[in-house]
Amino acid sequence: MPAKKKKAKKKPTKKKATPKKATKKKVARKKASSKRAVKKAVKSLTAKHKEFCLEYIIDFNASRAYRKVYKCSIKAAGPCGYKLLKNAHIQEYLTQLIKERQKRTKNRADDAMNECCRIAFADVGQAYNEDNTLKAIHEMPEDIRRAVSGIEVDEIYEGTGEGRVLIGYTKKVKFWNKGKQIETLFKHHGLFAKDNDQKGKSLAQLISEAVGNE
């Protein structure tokens, strides 16, 4: 009798990860890698480097930030600040600081740009009634209220001393600077000359623009 052939046992096949699970794992790995990079960056920075970063994110002026921290001349601050911005660890730390500030304030770049638009395109006429009297602040459209920087009210009296009589008010409405906001919008949309390098950029690009402009 011929010997019976043994059937080979099939190895259990591993279940392939679904696209959703695979994506989640990739995102998780990316976040973990990013956190490790930030920790490494922070550890490698000196106290002066960290102070420079905190100063820089106030107005994104590297020269001013460098002068404030290192107490040097204006001539030296420009190239030295530029050099620090090229440092990869400083860029990592700056990105972290900006993200943390966004979480604290719950603001985004789009919110800031919308606020610029409100001020730049505010129609002063919407602050007044048809008879040219100033509307009460709660009656003004929201976009107009947000464009107002302040309202001054002066009381007008007739007579002097204790016998004086209130006969009216003078109201002054101050709006935020429209010209400055329009200039900001022009820079954001790259409407100035190319040599101004004012095309709209993300926060990450602003931080690392020194590297990109080499």
44-97 confidence digits (pLDDT tens) = 899 999 999 999 988 888 999 999 999 999 999 999 999 999 999 999 899 888
CA dist 207 and 93 (Å) reads: 10
Q: What is the mean pLDDT of the chain?
A: 79
Q: Domain map of the chain by residue range?
A: 23-106, 108-202
3-state SS assignment for residue 70: helix
Say how many residues make up the chain: 214
pLDDT of 19: 63
CA dist 206 and 131 (Å) reads: 48
Q: Please identify which residue in the block is written with the tokens 């050099």.
A: 83
CA dist 58 and 79 (Å) reads: 19
Q: How confident is the model at residue 42 (pLDDT cuts 50, 70, 90)?
A: confident
**212 pLDDT more than 60:** no
Q: Which of 7-11, 47-51, 179-183, 196-200 has the lowest average pLDDT?
A: 196-200
> Which residue from 91, 147, 152 is spatially nearest to 123, judged by alpha carbons?
147
* CB neighbour class for 75 (10 Å; exposed up to 12, middle 13-18, buried from 19): exposed
pLDDT of 20: 63
Within a 10 A sphere around the Cβ of 145, how many other Cβ atoms?
Answer: 16
pLDDT of 197: 47
Find the helix or strand (DSSP H, E) in which 151 lies: strand 148-158
Contact indicator for 96, 43 with CB cutoff of 8 Å = no
CA dist 49 and 55 (Å) reads: 10
**148 pLDDT more than 80:** yes
Instruction: Compute the average pLDDT of residues 165-169.
Output: 86
CA dist 136 and 138 (Å) reads: 6
Q: How confident is the model at residue 182 (pLDDT cuts 50, 70, 90)?
A: confident
CA dist 173 and 187 (Å) reads: 28
pLDDT of 162: 83
